[in-house]
Amino acid sequence: EHWELNQHFDYRILLKLKEDLEKIKAKKGTALNCGKGVLEELKPLATLEDEGLTLKEIVERVEKDLLEFADDETVAINVASTEPTPEFDPEYHATLEGFERAIEEDRRDKVTASMLYAYVSLKNGIPFANFTPSVSSSIPALKELAERVGVPHAGNDGKTGETLVKTTLAPMFAYRNLKVLGWMGYNILGDLDGKVLAHEQNKRSKIVSKDKVVGKILGYYPYTITEINYFPSLQDNKTAFDFIHFQGFLGTKMKFYFIWDAIDAIVAAPLVLDIARFLLLAKKKGQKGVVKELAFFFKSPMDTDEYNTHRQFEILKKWFEALVSS
């Protein structure tokens, strides 16, 4: 159905995969604290919580389903819809003991679906990546779990489109000492992701993730506008219009514009594959905890302040070369 709507690659490729794809049966998951965007746009939604399960039982079901197909080569990647950002609660999010207590005490107000998927994966030694702006494995409790179990993880939010261009271009202004006065990025997209992000709380997580990168690279925060809006007829196309106002020699003001027009799934899928390969290699080489060298792939990389794509790529290469020769 998705192919019929978008027709963004050769249908023969899909036919070759038909048999394998048909073997994949999605299992019921959880949508705890996924916000209005998910609850309203994915209707009718069948979740484990609707079956009246406790939090502990939900975790056990997700774990059972995951372990049914997982093997030594499995990597889990969260590509579910973006969740609203929950308020950090030190009692339940700061330590593994606190997080597991939230599960025992059935504190479903304290966890989100992406945290639970990360918890189950990491607990079972399955490397995990968060391709979304949702909180997921970035809370201290789950970082502690990854360290304890000895499993690598990475995130957050795949850097596939406008932000990739922004974080590649922003360093140029810094290198040439051109002062960025303002940066506007206006994104429109169709499909379900666009519908979910049309809901204010879900959208906020994404905007925060996209907005901060320019300031992080420049070392100062110019005036920014970052907007995302749903545009149904675009389907899986995502178009970004960026306007950059900057100042050069003798204080002269100049302008730069770009338009990024890409197909969301086509720019995201190869990154998901690369992240999975790198995490599997990291696991095989005994790495554990946050793999910050994978920052190159993410808009909001964990445990690093390096947002410059050029430097991130050098860091990734160095890490990879050292790992394969170790």
Q: At its nearest, how many Å lie between ligand NAD and the CB of residue 101? A: 23
**Contact of 315 with 296, CB cutoff 8 Å:** yes
**Contact of 323 with 280, CB cutoff 8 Å:** no
Q: Residue 78 corresponds to which tokens in the numbers above? A: 């969260």
Q: Residue 84 corresponds to which tokens in the numbers above? A: 């609203």
Which amino acid does the sequence have at 214? V
Q: At its nearest, how many Å lie between ligand NAD and the CB of residue 271? A: 8
Nearer of residues 174 and 207 to ligand NAD, judged by Cβ: 207
Nearer of residues 197 and 218 to ligand NAD, judged by Cβ: 197
State the DSSP H helix or E strand holding residue 250, giving kind and residue range, or none if neither.
Answer: none
CA separation for the pair 289, 98 (Å, rounded): 19
Angle 301-279-277 (CA atoms, 0-180°, nearest 5)? Answer: 115
Residue 50 neighbours by CB under 8 Å, 6+ apart? none
**Contact of 131 with 157, CB cutoff 8 Å:** yes
Nearer of residues 191 and 293 to ligand NAD, judged by Cβ: 191
Q: At its nearest, how many Å lie between ligand NAD and the CB of residue 85? A: 13
Q: At its nearest, how many Å lie between ligand NAD and the CB of residue 24? A: 13
Q: At its nearest, how many Å lie between ligand NAD and the CB of residue 326? A: 31
Q: Residue 177 corresponds to which tokens in the numbers above? A: 């000492």
- Locate tokens 């909001």: which residue? 300
In the bound complex, which residue of the shown chain has the CB atom lying closest to ligand NAD? 192
**Contact of 117 with 145, CB cutoff 8 Å:** no
Nearer of residues 275 and 315 to ligand NAD, judged by Cβ: 275
Q: At its nearest, how many Å lie between ligand NAD and the CB of residue 32? A: 8
Nearer of residues 48 and 291 to ligand NAD, judged by Cβ: 48
Judged by the rule CB under 6 A, the positions of this chain that interact with ligand NAD are 29-31, 34, 38, 42, 79-82, 113, 131-132, 157-158, 160-161, 191-193, 196, 206, 264-265, 267-268
Nearer of residues 254 and 259 to ligand NAD, judged by Cβ: 259
